[in-house]
Structure 1
């Protein structure tokens, strides 16, 4: 029997409005509790980095939430990176770095990785699931003026890889291979499949 009554509290370990919107889109009730843990990376492999960071965020929030709340719950930790030619592109520190990043991306394909860690407290036991999804993004060629104009919108400055696919940069996306939501920041369908046996 397939139940759709949510029986477990879901805690999103992220302040990202985009991740909240995706969970709401899936009708998954949740509370937001951002992680404030220091990020420690021991790898340069994009898939490993996002899994590692998602686990750190989930663990931090799991401990915070457990101290203040009784009962079972599920924490979602997530992290997204953009990789071009195997190099991880984080959030640009200034406009010039944003220009360099977009220059690397324009006219070719790159990858977006999102790692997810689910930490579930169920019947007093702690269960962990960590995985990642990867999507390819193909970008049309952009001239210098187009890049500068996009940077002037301010949109790139808080985005990994210096762009947001759901914003003004969308007009330069030739196509994608994979899950669009992975690029936005949370592979909703995979997350749902992994956690539904615990929350319903």
Structure 2
């Protein structure tokens, strides 16, 4: 069994769907990292920061367990998009994606005292033009909250993706195919 060190409902659902035995241990993570890094370096540093903060919070409680830390970001032309803080920011993020493309980078760290496995995965999504009424309904409902880049592949964005390169699970927040290879 692994310990999912995360509050993410999406990641928990991905692990369930993949048939991976886990226990979720949530914790508050302070995500204050300089966005002037390359997107791939940024998302990996976030994962390492999550590990550091988790271990500081829980001390030795999980020291012999298999721990899983993960994070995802969205990039449009190397501009890093994290979680939108409000509707205005969500509209800006979605306008960058509208009739264009976005990369989703997802990193995870699987570790215990005997091994550390770090993975970085990428999924490219190509979008048709968004319907303005559907876009407004999506943002005004605030369903975008908690979603990197305000992307919801299983919801709003689903009807607008005309091409996908990479795993859907990566786009949803965790490359479960790669993770399973190491379990």
Q: Please indicate, yes or no, whether the TM-score normalized by the shorter chain is above 0.5.
A: yes
Give the TM-score, by structure 2 length: 0.89
Largest Rg, 1 or 2: 1
1:84–1:111 Cα contact (<8 Å) kept? yes
Give 1:5's aligned residue.
none
1:55–1:130 Cα contact (<8 Å) kept? no
In the alignment, is residue 117 of structure 1 matched against residue 109 of structure 2?
A: yes
Structure 2 gap ranges (5+): none
> Among 164, 173, 176, which residue is 1:188 paired with?
176
Deviation at 1:146, TM superposition (A): 3.4
1:77–1:117 Cα contact (<8 Å) kept? yes
Look up the SS of the partner of 1:158 in the other structure. coil
**Deviation sequence 1:145-169 (CA, Å, 0-9, x none):** 3321221232112211112111233
**Considering only aligned residues, what root-mean-square deviation do their CA atoms show, in Å?**
1.9
Deviation at 1:66, TM superposition (A): 5.7
Give 1:49's aligned residue.
42
1:50–1:114 Cα contact (<8 Å) kept? yes
In the alignment, is residue 163 of structure 1 matched against residue 156 of structure 2?
A: no
**Deviation sequence 1:107-150 (CA, Å, 0-9, x none):** 0111000011112124xxxx322221011001111243332122
Structure 1 gap ranges (5+): 1-8
* 1:48-127 pair list within 5 angstroms: 48-62=41-55, 64-65=57-58, 67-69=60-62, 72-122=64-114, 127=115
Number of residue pairs matched? 182
1:34–1:61 Cα contact (<8 Å) kept? no
1:35–1:58 Cα contact (<8 Å) kept? no
Give the TM-score, by structure 1 length: 0.82
Q: Structure 2: how far apart are the matches of 1:69 and 1:93?
A: 32
Change (3 A) 1:10 1:141: same
Deviation at 1:69, TM superposition (A): 4.9
Look up the SS of the partner of 1:163 in the other structure. coil
Deviation at 1:62, TM superposition (A): 4.2
